[in-house]
Amino acid sequence: MKLDVNVLRYLSKDDFRVLTAVEMGMRNHEIVPAELIDRIASLRHGGTYKVLKNLLKHKLLHHDSSKYDGFRLTYLGYDFLAIKTMVNRGVFSSVGRQIGVGKESDIFEVANEDGTVMAMKLHRLGRTSFRAVKSKRDYLKHRSSFNWLYLSRLAALKEFAFMKALQEHGFPVPNAVDCNRHCVIMSLVQGYPLVQVKQLQSTDIVFEKIIGIIVRLAEHGLIHCDFNEFNIMIDDDEKITIIDFPQMVSVSHRNAEMYFDRDVECIIKFFSKRFNLSFEADADDSDSDADSDAVKPRFSSIKKASGFLDKELSASGFSRKEQDDIEKFNEGGLEKISVSDDEEIEEEEGHSSSTINASDIQNFDSLCSLTKADDQPKACGMSGEVEEDQQ
The answer to whether residues 183 and 79 touch, using CB atoms and an 8 Å cutoff, is yes
Is 263 catalytic? The answer is no
Binding partner of residue 186 among Mg ion, ligand ADP, none, CB cut-off 5 to 8 Å per kind: ligand ADP
Total binding residues toward Mg ion, as defined by CB under 5 A: 4
The answer to whether residues 7 and 58 touch, using CB atoms and an 8 Å cutoff, is yes
Task: Report the nearest approach of ligand ADP to the CB of residue 230 (Å).
Answer: 5
Q: State which residue, 47 or 193, has the beta carbon closest to ligand ADP.
A: 193
Candidate segments 19-27, 69-77, 97-105, 194-202, binder of Mg ion by CB under 5 A: 97-105
Kindly state whether residue 102 participates in binding Mg ion, applying the rule CB under 5 A: yes
Integer CA distances (angstroms), 124 to 181, 322, 332, 340, in order? 11, 17, 16, 11
Candidate segments 30-38, 49-57, 98-106, 177-185, binder of Mg ion by CB under 5 A: 98-106
One DSSP character per residue, 109-170 reads: EEE-TT--EEEEEEE-TTTTT----GGGHHHHHTS-B--HHHHHHHHHHHHHHHHHHHHHTT
Candidate segments 170-178, 194-202, 237-245, 275-283, binder of Mg ion by CB under 5 A: 237-245
Task: Report the nearest approach of ligand ADP to the CB of residue 220 (Å).
Answer: 20
The answer to whether residues 126 and 339 touch, using CB atoms and an 8 Å cutoff, is yes
Closest CA relative to residue 371, chosen from 154, 83, 155: 83
Catalytic residue among 15, 38, 226, 244: 226
Closest CA relative to residue 39, chosen from 52, 29, 27, 48: 48
Integer CA distances (angstroms), 122 to 74, 100, 233, 333, in order? 13, 10, 19, 23
Which residues 6+ apart lie within 8 Å of 333 measured at CB? none
Kindly state whether residue 33 participates in binding Mg ion, applying the rule CB under 5 A: no
The answer to whether residues 98 and 107 touch, using CB atoms and an 8 Å cutoff, is yes
Kindly state whether residue 100 participates in binding Mg ion, applying the rule CB under 5 A: no
Binding partner of residue 121 among ligand ADP, Mg ion, none, CB cut-off 5 to 8 Å per kind: ligand ADP
- Which residues of this protein are in contact with ligand ADP, per CB under 6 A? 99-100, 102-105, 107, 119, 121, 174, 186, 188-189, 193, 230-231, 243-244
Closest CA relative to residue 156, chosen from 177, 135, 140: 177
Candidate segments 240-248, 258-266, 269-277, 369-377, binder of Mg ion by CB under 5 A: 240-248
Alpha-carbon gap, residue 120 to 362, rounded angstroms: 30
Q: State which residue, 102 or 381, has the beta carbon closest to Mg ion.
A: 102
Task: Report the nearest approach of ligand ADP to the CB of residue 266 (Å).
Answer: 14
Task: Report the nearest approach of ligand ADP to the CB of residue 1 (Å).
Answer: 12
Alpha-carbon gap, residue 129 to 152, rounded angstroms: 13
Binding partner of residue 189 among ligand ADP, Mg ion, none, CB cut-off 5 to 8 Å per kind: ligand ADP
Binding partner of residue 100 among ligand ADP, Mg ion, none, CB cut-off 5 to 8 Å per kind: ligand ADP
Alpha-carbon gap, residue 74 to 71, rounded angstroms: 9
Pairing of strands 240-242, 70-73: unpaired
Kindly state whether residue 231 participates in binding Mg ion, applying the rule CB under 5 A: yes
Task: Report the nearest approach of ligand ADP to the CB of residue 289 (Å).
Answer: 34
Task: Report the nearest approach of Mg ion to the CB of residue 243 (Å).
Answer: 7
Q: Just list the catalytic residues.
A: 226
**Contacts to Mg ion by CB under 5 A:** 102, 230-231, 244
